């Protein structure tokens, strides 16, 4: 069975860093991973250290633009599937797919319906699917990915970050999404704010499953544009994320 | 039977993805060349079950390498004919995916195949068992195939040599497919993707009428309904032809009743005025009746300006959408302009007076040559006066209708009284039109509109609605 993990949260809290470190952990434990960058502000490829030229959005647009030029009796799902595989970046141990650009004008119902079917089949090929997504949860509301086992909301030390977590939890219920479990991970935690974060999370009835301390190695690599994927094993952030992964049964 | 092959064969392997890590070789695909082709061949030119390979075999290919690849199947049988080629060819995709360790994507000259390392480790060293398995499946699943022979090619020069011929075959097939019309089939397709926001929408897809969103043609409907008959696209038995010109079928009417929860029980597929197709909201183009010239204008969502009736696409789309049958407006997919039955019961292209230039250019090849230059664009006419002038100067066929009207008018006026009503009660009581009142430029405050009924006996032949002077 494929396990589906989604990572979301307020902007700037470190969702993408968290996603990269989880992928890093999973590939070290020999899991075959599909990473999906579903954040319109596409940062995951850079953080993982791979280059993505084309996105699912580009291919959706291709299907829209070319639909009258394709042979009339051609199977469009089969073409779209092949186009999707073309934008799948194949790395050792994991594949990466970037959702990319938003939809243009016009009706995308049919294309999205095809995409749902293709994604359903695709995810079954992996041990773990890990999705880096924006707080708006658009791809979930559109049911592009139908079932999510664990939704990890990343927050920083701010109260607003935890409020976002609360809103996301409420939103997943409202949207009738198939999310089994919602947990919170606090990022960039210091000794000074740790107790306060734990207290606030508790007050909002959020399940805090990990606190990742400020790691100056991450900040340094970020600034230099170096991928986080090859952080050393003894990095404190790496060690904390490994612990979180174990808690989630990964 | 399965023991003959060094791999397992089952539909459960469909959807199996072979990743780069697990791939022994890649064949054809976006970075190489190849094709797949099925040819109907005379019985005596086929040696049943024969396999020929031109170029190196799997065992001669290095792990991780990429090669050109073509698959040609010659089929014969009493019932085999050229028209079946593409249907049989499509099954190559299914059957190759039934083979464990083989991934087949796309079709025609875009085929993309991978053979897994696992399959090679389990003893797959040649393309022959793959071809044999596919030939076996062809004969088992498609019993009209009596004899089949396969030729696989991995030699680039040989593939390139044949490519032009192969493309010509695909093209002639497409030309034949485009020649399929409503009268040639007994099944249409429906789609409910829009019903979430347009609950009474009845989307009917026929060979001569694409879905309103422009995304789903008759073949797409057929393919989807075959895979999942309960899915968003489903078959509509055509039933009896009630009116071939207007495109009225008993099967479509029955469906309209059930799909719109009884709101509509008649749909004319190729009419603008009488029981037109419902309009969902995601149509690519909206048509609007212009009473002043008795013609129809069309505007698409990419046109930012206002049409000669003073309204932009967004306003008209707002009035038209929602899954209603709206007389005076009609949502369509762009490809419907290319249909030979395009609003044929209302005069077809002879009734079209205006469309945005970029839209006209897009479908220009399909506009009858004698009318093309007579259809105005925003460059020719921005309002009703300039539109009238343009149509008169170009001698648009619609002008002929004006002449006929003028000739009839004196008689009509003697015989009938001309009635003038205030719009709202008129709309509610007498006309089964929805959205029509909104069509009035909402320049309210000028005292509403005047509606003149001419030649009105029991049924209404014409309604003219104009701004009160």
B256: in domain: no
Q: Which residue has better confidence, B203 or B321?
A: B203
User: Which of B353-362, B429-438, B447-456 holds the top average pLDDT?
Assistant: B353-362
- The last residue of a domain, from among B156, B178, B200: B178
Subunit contact B20:A90, Cβ cutoff 8 A: yes
Q: Structural domain of residue B454, as residue ranges?
A: 416-467
Q: Is 80 exceeded by the pLDDT of residue A64?
A: yes
- The last residue of a domain, from among B135, B158, B178: B178
Looking at beta carbons, which residues of chain B come within 8 Å of A113? Answer: 193, 232
Subunit contact A73:B170, Cβ cutoff 8 A: no
Q: Is 50 exceeded by the pLDDT of residue B339?
A: yes
Q: Structural domain of residue A104, as residue ranges?
A: 3-247
pLDDT, tens digit, for every residue of B378-394?
Answer: 999 999 999 999 999 99
Q: Is 90 exceeded by the pLDDT of residue B423?
A: no
B131: in domain: yes
Instruction: Report pLDDT for A150.
Output: 94
Subunit contact B217:A72, Cβ cutoff 8 A: yes
Looking at beta carbons, which residues of chain A come within 8 Å of B232? Answer: 113
B153, B70 contact by CB (below 8 A): yes
Q: How many domains does chain A divide into?
A: 1
Instruction: Report pLDDT for B454.
Output: 55
Q: How many domains does chain B divide into?
A: 2
Q: For the residues A117-145, what does the mean pLDDT come to? A: 86
Q: Is 70 exceeded by the pLDDT of residue A67?
A: yes
Mean pLDDT (chain B) is 88
Interface test with chain A among B12, B13, B17, B174, by most A beta carbons within 10 Å = B17
Mean pLDDT (chain A) is 90
Q: Is 80 exceeded by the pLDDT of residue B442?
A: no
Q: For the residues A3-28, what does the mean pLDDT come to? A: 92
Q: Which residue has better confidence, B407 or A20?
A: A20
B169: in domain: yes
pLDDT, tens digit, for every residue of B78-135?
Answer: 999 898 898 899 999 999 999 999 999 999 999 999 999 999 999 999 999 999 999 9
Q: Range with the lowest mean pLDDT among A77-81, B19-23, B42-46, B438-442?
A: B438-442
Interface of B with A in 12-41 (CB under 8 A): 14-17, 19-21, 30
B344: in domain: no
Looking at beta carbons, which residues of chain B come within 8 Å of A75? Answer: 90, 93, 107, 223
Q: For the residues A29-50, what does the mean pLDDT come to? A: 91
Instruction: Report pLDDT for A106.
Output: 84
Q: Range with the lowest mean pLDDT among A195-209, B56-70, B203-217?
A: A195-209
Q: Is 50 exceeded by the pLDDT of residue A197?
A: yes
Looking at beta carbons, which residues of chain A come within 8 Å of B301? Answer: 105-106
Q: Is 50 exceeded by the pLDDT of residue B335?
A: yes
Interface test with chain A among B31, B106, B181, B197, by most A beta carbons within 10 Å = B106
B252: in domain: no
Q: What is the C-alpha to C-alpha distance for residues A13 and A7, in angstroms, rounded to an integer?
A: 11
pLDDT band at B468 (very low <50, low <70, confident <90, very high): low
Subunit contact B223:A67, Cβ cutoff 8 A: no
A58, A100 contact by CB (below 8 A): yes
> Which CATH number do you get for residue B6?
3.30.1650.10
Subunit contact B107:A79, Cβ cutoff 8 A: yes
> Which CATH number do you get for residue A32?
3.40.50.300
């Amino acid at each position: 069975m494929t396990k589906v993990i989604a990572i979301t949260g307020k902007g700037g809290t470190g969702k993408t860093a968290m996603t990269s470190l989880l992928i890093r952990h999973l590939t070290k434990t020999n899991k075959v991973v599909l990473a999906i960058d579903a954040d319109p502000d596409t940062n995951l490829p850079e953080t993982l250290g791979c280059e993505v030229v084309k996105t699912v959005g580009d291919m959706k647009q291709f299907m829209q633009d070319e639909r009258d030029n394709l042979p009339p009796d051609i199977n469009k799902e089969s073409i779209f599937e092949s186009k999707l595989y073309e934008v799948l970046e194949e790395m050792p141990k994991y594949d990466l797919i970037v959702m990319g650009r938003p939809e243009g004008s016009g009706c995308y119902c049919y294309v999205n319906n095809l995409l749902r079917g293709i994604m359903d089949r695709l995810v079954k090929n992996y041990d773990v699917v890990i999705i880096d997504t924006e707080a708006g949860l658009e791809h979930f509301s559109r049911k592009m990915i139908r079932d999510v086992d664990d939704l990890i909301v990343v927050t920083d030390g701010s109260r607003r970050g935890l409020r976002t977590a609360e809103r996301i939890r409420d939103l997943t219920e409202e949207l009738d999404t198939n999310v089994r479990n919602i947990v919170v991970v606090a990022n960039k935690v210091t000794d000074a704010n740790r107790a306060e974060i734990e207290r606030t999370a508790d007050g909002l009835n959020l399940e805090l499953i990990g606190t990742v301390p400020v790691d100056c190695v991450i900040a340094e690599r970020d600034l230099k544009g170096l991928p986080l994927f090859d952080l050393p094993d003894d990095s404190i952030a790496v060690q904390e994320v490994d612990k979180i992964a174990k808690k989630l049964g990964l | 039977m399965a023991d003959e092959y060094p791999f397992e064969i089952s539909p459960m392997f469909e959807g199996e993805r072979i990743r780069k890590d697990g791939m022994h070789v890649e064949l054809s695909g976006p970075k190489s060349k190849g094709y797949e082709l099925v040819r109907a061949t005379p019985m005596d030119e086929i040696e049943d079950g024969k396999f020929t390979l031109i170029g190196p075999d799997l065992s001669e290919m290095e792990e991780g390498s990429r090669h050109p690849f073509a698959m040609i199947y010659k089929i014969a049988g009493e019932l085999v004919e050229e028209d079946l080629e593409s249907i049989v060819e499509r099954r190559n995709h299914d059957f190759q995916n039934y083979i464990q360790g083989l991934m087949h994507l796309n079709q025609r000259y875009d085929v993309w195949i991978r053979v897994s390392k696992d399959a090679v480790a389990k003893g797959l060293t040649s393309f022959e068992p793959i071809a044999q398995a596919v030939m076996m499946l062809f004969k088992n699943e498609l019993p009209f195939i009596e004899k089949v022979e396969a030729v696989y090619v991995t030699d680039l020069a040989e593939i390139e040599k044949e490519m032009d011929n192969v493309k010509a075959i695909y093209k002639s097939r497409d030309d034949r497919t485009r020649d399929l019309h409503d009268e040639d089939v007994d099944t249409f397709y429906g789609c409910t993707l829009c019903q979430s926001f347009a609950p009474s929408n009845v989307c009917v897809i026929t060979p001569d009428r694409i879905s309103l969103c422009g995304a789903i043609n008759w073949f797409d409907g057929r393919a989807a309904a075959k895979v999942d008959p309960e899915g968003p696209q489903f078959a509509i038995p055509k039933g009896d032809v009630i009116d071939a010109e207007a495109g009225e079928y008993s099967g479509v009417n029955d469906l309209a009743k059930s799909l719109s929860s009884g709101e509509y029980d008649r749909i004319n597929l190729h009419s603008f005025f009488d029981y037109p197709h419902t309009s969902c909201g995601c149509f690519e183009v909206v048509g609007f009746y212009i009473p002043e010239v008795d013609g129809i204008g069309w505007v698409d969502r990419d046109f930012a300006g206002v049409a000669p009736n003073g309204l932009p696409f967004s306003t008209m789309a707002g009035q038209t959408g929602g899954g209603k049958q709206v007389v005076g407006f009609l949502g369509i997919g762009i490809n419907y302009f290319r249909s030979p039955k395009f609003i044929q019961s209302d005069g077809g292209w002879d009734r079209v007076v205006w469309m945005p230039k970029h839209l006209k250019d897009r479908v220009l090849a399909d506009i009858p040559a004698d009318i093309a230059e007579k259809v105005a664009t925003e460059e020719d006419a921005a309002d009703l006066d300039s539109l009238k002038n343009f149509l008169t100067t170009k001698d648009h066929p619609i002008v002929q209708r004006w002449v006929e009207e003028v000739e009839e008018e004196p008689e009509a006026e003697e015989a009938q009284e001309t009635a003038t009503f205030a719009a709202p009660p008129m709309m509610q009581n007498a006309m089964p039109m929805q959205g029509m009142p909104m069509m009035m430029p909402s320049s309210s405050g000028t005292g509403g509109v005047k509606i003149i009924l001419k030649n009105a006996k029991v049924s209404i032949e014409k309604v003219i609605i104009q701004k009160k002077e």
